[in-house]
Structure 1
Amino acid sequence: MTKPLIEITNINKSYQNGDQELRVLKDISLTIDEGEFVAIMGPSGSGKSTLMNIIGLLDKPTSGNYDLEGQEVDSLGDQELAKVRNQQIGFVFQQFFLLAKLNALQNVELPLIYAGVSPSKRRELSKQYLEKVELVERMHHLPSELSGGQKQRVAIARALVNSPAIILADEPTGALDTKTGAQIMDLLTDLNREGKTIIMVTHEPEIAAYATRQIVLRDGVITEDTRKGGEI
């Protein structure tokens, strides 16, 4: 039996806009099990990126509860949150966010530096994960010398290098052409088959189709939650 990795209960998120309150998420309750591949979909302004940021501990809800691996997130201080982000969550973004002056190997090493891993162990692990994404032969190249797909592979290796429980992918193919996007999605699918939990935000149905579960948000509310084979 798989254990719940993420449990969100009655999450609300509001922003103050002058004297008006903008409710972005409205009483969201959601459980994600270990090993799932979830696509969060919805039109612009639906709240999907806000939900992703809360799951990734980049933002805090206005109210509600969030348990990550059985730990109540609200009870953690800023340093503890940073540690959880570094060790338990790997991030993959549409724009890659690689440091321009560092080569591929050095970019992958960054989370390990923050985690206090020794230089020799960092290099060993970073090479291992660049090999996993079939990019070890480009490890000494700067981001400016890599294609969009290669940059995203470096970003995925960086996300994996700390062996996180969760990979969060925010529009991971948004900056890529169709063929390269499909290659990145095949890589994420393979990682999921190996047991990684993947949560992805996308507005493209053909990208969401790679996931085994699709959650649709509209106006801050979950309107659909389906797994391949039927509704939850």
Structure 2
Amino acid sequence: MKKLIKLEDITKSYRNGDQELQVLKHISLEVEEGEFVAIMGPSGSGKSTLMNIIGMLDRPSSGRYYLEEQEVAGLGEKNLAKVRNHQIGFVFQQFFLLSKLNALQNVELPLIYAGVHQSKRKELAKQFLTKVELKERMHHLPSELSGGQKQRVAIARALVNSPSIILADEPTGALDTKTGVQIMNLLTDLNKEGKTIIMVTHEPEIAAYATRQIVIRDGLITEDSSQKGGQ
């Protein structure tokens, strides 16, 4: 299998007055193409910080991060933004849809940043909204959509540039149980199609959908276990 992500001895610290708070402590981790990984841990464990570093939304204090064998530290801000837009799709707990844009326009946004022509943008956005079963709702504003529908729009937006990795931060956190199951089934289907998914969650029943669970406590990986097939 192709190695997508390699973290070597990653640390992350923040200054708080005279004190230094170490959030991540010498994390080493590899993720292969096609894996479905759940990162778990209690609040304050460092799991979201790790996700932000993998997503290049934050930089480590020390250590090396390789994405598809390219060291991320060597990338300038412009190239980082390009890699984020093309290689990583983000799904967040709070959806982060623009309220004045309809579902179709929200999904088009990454394609605008990528410089894709307008007609091609609309075609791709429609294609991915259809994929997440929102063909009939594509002209609705976020305020006219349910929580589950908003998350489907967010997933379509994450997929539209055909990234190699989907990062999902508490993707069911704002949803009821039934809708959460629907979203997890959708992510599972995407993984079966070959997408690499890395998900942060504090819920064991959500982590059970993944084929690999990593537990972080006090900035350290304390467990890393694989299971065949997820749920």
Q: Is the TM value for this pair above 0.5?
A: yes
1:130-166 C-alpha deviation (Å, 9 max, x unpaired): 0000001100000000000000000000000000010
TM-score (normalizing by structure 2): 0.98
Structure 2: gaps (5+ residues): none
Summarize the alignment of residues 105-144 of structure 1 with structure 2, pairs less than 5 Å apart.
105-144=104-143
Distance 1:13 1:211 in 2: 26
Tell me the CA shift for residue 36 of structure 1: 0.2
Match of 1:6 in 2: 5
Query: Hey, which bits of structure 1, 4+ residues long, moved more than 2 A?
Result: none
What letter matches 2:63 in structure 1?
G
Match of 2:68 in 1: 69
Give the paired residue count: 228
Tell me the CA shift for residue 3 of structure 1: 1.1
Q: Secondary structure at the match of 2:31?
A: strand
What letter matches 2:98 in structure 1?
L
Structure 1: gaps (5+ residues): none
Summarize the alignment of residues 3-42 of structure 1 with structure 2, pairs less than 5 Å apart.
3-42=2-41
Distance 1:70 1:121 in 2: 31
Distance 2:120 2:171 in 1: 28
Q: Secondary structure at the match of 1:225?
A: strand
Q: Secondary structure at the match of 1:129?
A: helix
Q: Percent identity?
A: 81
Match of 1:207 in 2: 206
Summarize the alignment of residues 77-226 of structure 1 with structure 2, pairs less than 5 Å apart.
77-226=76-225
Please provide the CA RMSD for this pair.
0.4
Q: Secondary structure at the match of 1:84?
A: helix
Q: Secondary structure at the match of 2:110?
A: helix
What letter matches 1:157 in structure 2?
A
1:161-196 C-alpha deviation (Å, 9 max, x unpaired): 000010000000000000000000000000000000
